[in-house]
A and B are shown apart, each in its own frame.
Chain A
Amino acid sequence: DTAVSQTPKYLVTQMGNDKSIKCEQNLGHDTMYWYKQDSKKFLKIMFSYNNKELIINETVPNRFSPKSPDKAHLNLHINSLELGDSAVYFCASSLTGTGFPGELFFGEGSRLTVL
């Protein structure tokens, strides 16, 4: 059973297009995240939702819009794609309220290439 699953795993698209990535977790976690990993492997948080409520919104262009229909799902929509958006996008989830902030469960990533 896949704990955190993302679709699609690969996207290749042209500049200016719009694309979406979907994420689902079956761990019963209450917090979900979107991270971006660039070509130098830096993993940067973009957004975090706790029980469908946005709690972390880093400095990200407003072309990126997350949506959490319920606490098991977090989607990412990207408008007007640019070359610099090419990266691997990881979804992650965690259980809060345990006093320990650090155990994130990551999906396998969605590799976006913008041509």
Chain B
Amino acid sequence: QKEVEQDPGPLSVPEGAIVSLNCTYSNSAFQYFMWYRQYSRKGPELLMYTYSSGNKEDGRFTAQVDKSSKYISLFIRDSQPSDSATYLCAPAAGNKLTFGGGTRVLVKP
């Protein structure tokens, strides 16, 4: 079993829909929880992060962490075709990130 699990998708939604992504993890030492976005043939870029349990909102994006169930979520409201990418969760313990395999999202116009 991998330390961080994500459904690989693809997750296909119509423009304007809410996209719901999630990860599960096994390491209780994770304290920071990052979401990276990776466009095709590009390097990942940090989208947002949360520290410990709780919610964080940034524009159309909301990240949630439930440490008791070791569950991480990312919601994208009013999705746009430009949101089509692979989304990787990356929890961290100390200075080391552990990436999930990513979920590929396709937003159709």
On whether the beta carbons of B32 and A107 are closer than 8 Å, the reply is: no
B residues near A44, Cβ cutoff 8 Å: 99
**Contact of B60 with A by CB under 8 A:** no
**Residues 16-70 (chain B) with a chain A CB within 8 angstroms:** 32, 34, 38, 41-46, 49
* A→B interface (CB under 8 Å): 4, 31, 40-45, 48, 56, 90, 92, 96, 100-109
**Contact of B109 with A by CB under 8 A:** no
A-B contact count (CB 8 A): 59
* B→A interface (CB under 8 Å): 2, 8, 32, 34, 38, 41-46, 49, 86, 88, 90, 92, 94-97, 99-102, 104
B residues near A90, Cβ cutoff 8 Å: 43-44
B residues near A40, Cβ cutoff 8 Å: 8, 101
